[in-house]
Amino acid sequence: MTVSETYLKGCFLLEPKIFEDDRGYFMESYNAKTFGSSTGSDVHFVQDNQSFSNRGVIRALHYQLGIHAQSKLVRVIKGTVLDVAVDLRKGSSTFGEHFSVELSEENKKQLFIPKGFAHGFVVLSETAEFFYKCDNYYNKASEGGIIYNDPMLNIDWKLPKEKLTISEKDAILPNLENARL
C-alpha cells in the first residue's frame, strides 16, 4: 500500500496494491500495523458505515465536535465520488482549506480524514456505494456541519448546481464563519 500525506497535515491518501489475474483481483483494504506505521496515527476504528446514493447526491459537510470527534477512513465500493475533507482545526496553517480526490471502485483509493476535519462527498457516477470506518461513535448532540457551497471554501463539486441533490438538513447548514466549531 502506498500512503501519502496530502497538503492538509494528518490527512492521508492510501492506494492499495492490487493483485489481478484472470479470476479477478485481491487487495488488502486495511491493516492496522501498516496504517499506523505509514500515517503515524494510533487509530482504533469502532464503527463501520455504508451508504448508497444516486448521481448528484451531496452528503456534506459533516463533523463531530469535542470528545465525539471522529477520524474516518473512507472508500468507494461501487461507482465514483468526489470526496472532500476540510480542515477545521483552529490554529492550523491550513484552517478552512480543503482537499478533494476522486474515489472509485476502479482506483480503490482511500482517504484518511483525521479528527478536526469536516467531510463530504458528491456522487459522480449513476450510483455509488460509500464505505467508511470511524474511530468514535456517532453522537447526535455533537454533530456539526457547513453548507456545501460556502463561497469561503470555494469547493468545485464537479457537477452543475441544478444537477445536485441536497437533503433538507444539509441545505440549511451554516457557512464556515458561522459554524459551531
Which residues are marked as active site? 62, 132
Of residues 178, 141, 151, the one with CA closest to residue 64:
141
In sequence order, the 6+-apart residues with CB closer than 8 A to the CB of 97 are 7, 8, 86, 87
**128 φ, ψ to 5°?**
-150, 145
Q: CB of 73 within 8 A of CB of 132? A: yes
Strands, E assignment, 16-142: 18-21, 24-27, 47-54, 57-64, 72-78, 80-87, 98-104, 110-113, 117-123, 127-134
